C-alpha cells in the first residue's frame, strides 16, 4: 500500500547540479593526490638521521632541565 501525499516532493539534483558536484569531486581528489605527491617529494629530500651514536643516547638520567623544576641530577 503506497500513500502519496500531495505535499511530498522529490529531492534530487538536476543535471547541471550533478555535473557540478562531479567536477568538484574530481578537483578535490586531484588536490589531495597533488598534496600527497608533494609531501612524498619533500620527505625524500629530508636528510637521513645520523648513523653515528649521539652523546647521551645510552643515558637514562633525567636531563638537568627536568619538568619538576629541581634542576638537579641524582647520580645513584
Over residues 21-72, the pLDDT tens digits come to 999 999 999 999 999 999 999 999 998 887 887 777 776 766 666 566 555 5
Q: Which of 46, 67, 64 is nearest to 56 (CA)?
A: 64
Q: Which residues contact 75 (CB under 8 A, 6 or more apart)?
A: 61
Rg of the Cα atoms in the chain = 31
pTM: 0.49
Q: Which of 56, 59, 55, 63 is nearest to 72 (CA)?
A: 63
The predicted structure's pLDDT at residue 45: 92
- Rounded Cα distance, 20 and 27, in Å: 11
Amino acid at each position: 500500500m503506497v500513500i502519496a501525499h500531495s505535499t511530498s516532493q522529490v529531492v534530487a539534483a538536476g543535471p547541471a547540479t550533478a555535473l557540478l558536484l562531479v567536477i568538484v569531486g574530481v578537483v578535490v581528489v586531484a588536490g589531495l593526490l597533488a598534496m600527497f605527491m608533494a609531501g612524498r617529494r619533500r620527505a625524500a629530500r629530508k636528510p637521513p638521521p645520523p648513523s653515528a651514536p649521539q652523546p647521551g643516547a645510552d643515558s637514562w638520567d633525567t636531563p638537568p632541565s627536568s619538568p619538576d623544576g629541581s634542576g638537579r641530577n641524582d647520580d645513584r
